[in-house]
Structure 1
Amino acid sequence: MASSIGWEFYRTFLAVLTEGSLSGAARALGITQPTVGRHVSALEASFNQTLFTRSQTGLLPTEAALALRGYVEAMQGTAAALERTATSHGQGVTGTVRISASEVIGAEVLPPMLAQLRQVHPQLKIELVLSNRVQDLLQREADIAVRMTPPQQGLLIARRVGEVALGLYARADYLQQHGTPATPADLKRHALIGFDEETPFLRAASKLQPSWTRDVFSLRTDSDLGQLALIRAGCGVGFCQSALARRDARLMRVLPEHFTFKLETWVTMHEDLRGSPRCKATFDALVVCLQAHTATAVEP
């Protein structure tokens, strides 16, 4: 029976998983709550499995529902890619391109390039996903991705555009008030800005400086944009891309001889999109933009 279930039922299932209730899923999808209930019931009958149980906080997914989630998310990505492709045929650069990039790159670096790209190609539509999670290009969660690690998947077109340099920075008035640290030990007297949850970057930093752990941070947020905002506001000392710090004359480099990190930067897309005018134009523009960004990050 599962083979006769339409995609809309799986889409409803994913919305219930995400929203945690029938009413929330109905609002998200723009359908009625009874329709959501019928879709879930049809899936449960088809799989002969209970997918959700009721609780005081809403609907809780069963193990069966959690096991299905990855497959349904893959279906959603494929359906979205199909729609982007189907609506993008025609002469010239037209249609929708979905780009995945980290929070900082997506918010601080790409917008001027995207504005210029759309001036040249006004029929091009952009979906910009700001996430530090690596989007799966093989599952078509995005058409093009900007990644800070070399791509590991096959069937991808990948272009290395340089290295993004990071260092410790603080606002000048903060350093005037609290003093400029001369050694890593001096950082103990400062308000450090960092992550709440452990990250690969934090683990790499702690290898170079064993004291650089979650416990030393006076201000914690897992959002890179949040950390950047705290540094710019003069809240303390934190990591920032050197190219972005140079845009703000108030930001001063701290302990450059001890804290320097470089992240390889790549632009990638699925090789099946090689012949797509909309993807090729966007891919090429991203490469030029990020090559310029990484060039400004080179240490003097």
Structure 2
Amino acid sequence: MTPEPSWDFYRTFLAVLQHGSLSAAARDLGLTQPTIGRHIDALEDAVGAELFTRSQQGLIPTDAALALRPYAETLASTTAALLRTASGSRDKVSGTVRISASEVIGAEVLPPILAGLQASYPELIVELSASDAVEDLLQREADIAVRMVEPAQEALLSRHIGVIPLGFFAHHTYIERHGKPESLEDLRRHKLIGFDRQTAYIRMMLKRYPVFDGVPFVFRSDHSIAQHNALRAGIGISFLQIPLARRERDLVRLLPEIELPLDTWVVMHENLKTSPRCRVTFDALVTGLLNYIKGNTAGERA
């Protein structure tokens, strides 16, 4: 009987997949390159298939490797969740909690909320995944998530925060150069900042406001923070969360009659509700995001 491969082999396999070479995987894992090579050889022997082929661009995964990838990723997330669970004591707020949030929420909104949380609980360690990809809480890729889509799984505990409104904004230097659009149709003559690929929310926006469909953007990016920084730099007009824009006096609100809703939830697996570190983090996120939506009403530039 072929012995079951060590879990370390799958960790090595995933690192090689992610980095594309034995040497880069070795640096990431703190191992030697020969050790990485032995792990891959042993895993190939165990599964009875070649996992990588060599090319000038590095190691190319075979179909067998691509089929194994989701299972290796599940093992990695499960191991990380196990370590997070083991890191905290049952009776006090300590250890690691992993939070998943969108780029804008993670980079612009959560840091002051988390600063207050960690000031209250110095032994709490926060891992923040700021990405517009939705991480799977059932697979414990994260402990708590701030989501802009309603959770569908029954095993999740969720709190609906409300709607974060989005509006059109431009930097005042852009307005000085190009003037203000007076209508949606008028936007077509302006320089717009937009997306490189359509997400579910963008498709919904296009359905609601078809005038945006086919609009040529002068600046495209899949990264929300890059779009925000392009807006700050005066490149053009873009959508932005209104509570966030109110913090920046150089941004001008345009077409105020147009406001898009961004529904927001804080979500965690129901099995974590008895974990002190997850419970206080969940409550802090709920309170902080409610204040974010309701607060900062002054200082908007007309």
TM range (shorter): over 0.9
Higher alpha-carbon deviation: 127-136 or 194-203: 194-203
- Structure 1 contact 98–128 (Cα < 8 Å) conserved: yes
Task: Decide whether aligned partners of structure 1 residues 214 and 55 sit closer, same or farther in structure 2, where only a CA change above 3 A counts.
Answer: farther
- Structure 2 contact 90–275 (Cα < 8 Å) conserved: no
Aligned partner of 1:30 in structure 2 is: 30
Q: Does 1:268 align with 2:253?
A: no
Aligned partner of 2:242 in structure 1 is: 242
Task: Decide whether aligned partners of structure 1 residues 3 and 179 sit closer, same or farther in structure 2, where only a CA change above 3 A counts.
Answer: farther
Q: Deviations over 1:18-67 (max 9, x none)?
A: 00111111111110111111111111110101111111101111111111
TM-score of the superposed pair, with normalisation by structure 1: 0.95
Q: Deviations over 1:254-274 (max 9, x none)?
A: 1232x3211110001111111
Structure 1 stretches of 4+ moved >6 Å:
none
Higher alpha-carbon deviation: 181-190 or 105-114: 181-190
Aligned partner of 1:279 in structure 2 is: 278
Higher alpha-carbon deviation: 85-94 or 131-140: 85-94
- Structure 1 contact 197–214 (Cα < 8 Å) conserved: no
Aligned partner of 2:120 in structure 1 is: 120
Distance between the aligned counterparts of 2:2 and 2:169, measured in 1?
A: 56
Question: Secondary structure at 2:211's aligned position in 1?
Answer: coil
Q: How does 1:158-237 map to 2 (within 5 A)?
A: 158-213=158-213, 216-237=216-237
Q: Deviations over 1:184-208 (max 9, x none)?
A: 2221221100011122232222223
Gap runs ≥5 in structure 2: none
Higher alpha-carbon deviation: 85-94 or 8-17: 85-94
TM-score of the superposed pair, with normalisation by structure 2: 0.95
Q: How does 1:12-161 map to 2 (within 5 A)?
A: 12-161=12-161
- Structure 1 contact 162–295 (Cα < 8 Å) conserved: no
Distance between the aligned counterparts of 1:134 and 1:126, measured in 2?
A: 18
Question: Secondary structure at 1:216's aligned position in 2?
Answer: coil
Offset, 1:295: 2.1
Gap runs ≥5 in structure 1: none
Offset, 1:3: 6.0
Higher alpha-carbon deviation: 205-214 or 166-175: 205-214
Question: Secondary structure at 1:78's aligned position in 2?
Answer: helix
**Which AA in structure 2 matches 1:255?**
L
RMSD: 1.6
Task: Decide whether aligned partners of structure 1 residues 240 and 297 sit closer, same or farther in structure 2, where only a CA change above 3 A counts.
Answer: farther
- Structure 2 contact 99–128 (Cα < 8 Å) conserved: yes
Offset, 1:215: 5.0
Task: Decide whether aligned partners of structure 1 residues 15 and 2 sit closer, same or farther in structure 2, where only a CA change above 3 A counts.
Answer: farther
Distance between the aligned counterparts of 2:184 and 2:127, measured in 1?
A: 42
**Which AA in structure 1 matches 2:26?**
A
Higher alpha-carbon deviation: 280-289 or 199-208: 199-208
Identity %: 53
Distance between the aligned counterparts of 1:100 and 1:215, measured in 2?
A: 31
Aligned partner of 2:288 in structure 1 is: 289
**Which AA in structure 2 matches 1:238?**
S
